[in-house]
Amino acid sequence: MTLWFDDLVVGRSWSSPSRTITEADVGAFAGLTGDRFPLHTSEEFARQTPFGTRIAHGLLGLSFAHGLMWARTGELDQSVIAFLGISDWRFTAPIHFGDTLHVDYAVTAQRPSSSQSDRGIVEFEARVVNQHDAVVQHGLKTMLISREHAA
């Protein structure tokens, strides 16, 4: 079922499916981005840090969070026009190899477009949560969403 702008009222919330972060995920992300910082790729280096072991890239967690939001539901597949941005994103705890993450997210603001009546802007508060119920990242994501009558 597609969700349109008018369906996304303030307070509506979801909890995503989960995903376990693997060594292969971190290696693939390092290769894709070129970010091979040793905190993520060298156990010997990482052992000497306050974390005591390798951790996942913060941006890998953010990327997985984006993918987990609606990814398996298809609820916004027909209605999303664009991802407009991220604000106030915070990395509050490390993501360890083997951590299982999910995203709790909710509509925090919604307004019709001032320039085009067939769409609106929706802001979501997202919290990336690990298997211990610790919030490891959080922030706001803003999306441009079609109105149903425009479909």
Distance CA 102, CA 24 (A): 19
Percent of the chain with pLDDT strictly greater than 90: 90
Taking the CA of residue 25 as centre, how many other CA atoms within 13 Å lie in the half-sphere pointing to its CB? Answer: 20
Q: What is the pLDDT of residue 53?
A: 98
pLDDT of 43-79, one tens digit each? 999 999 999 999 999 999 999 999 999 776 788 889 9
Residue 110 has pLDDT above 60, yes or no: yes
pLDDT mean over 111-139: 97
- Judge whether 102 and 134 are in contact, CB under 8 Å: no
Q: What is the pLDDT of residue 151?
A: 55
Distance CA 107, CA 134 (A): 21
Distance CA 123, CA 51 (A): 33
C-alpha distances out from residue 56 to 78, 93, 138, Å:
32, 11, 16
More confident residue, 136 or 77: 136
Distance CA 69, CA 14 (A): 8
Q: What is the pLDDT of residue 149?
A: 67
What contacts 21, CB < 8 A, 6 or more positions away? 56, 60, 61, 64, 95, 96, 97, 98, 99, 100, 101
Residue 125 has pLDDT above 90, yes or no: yes
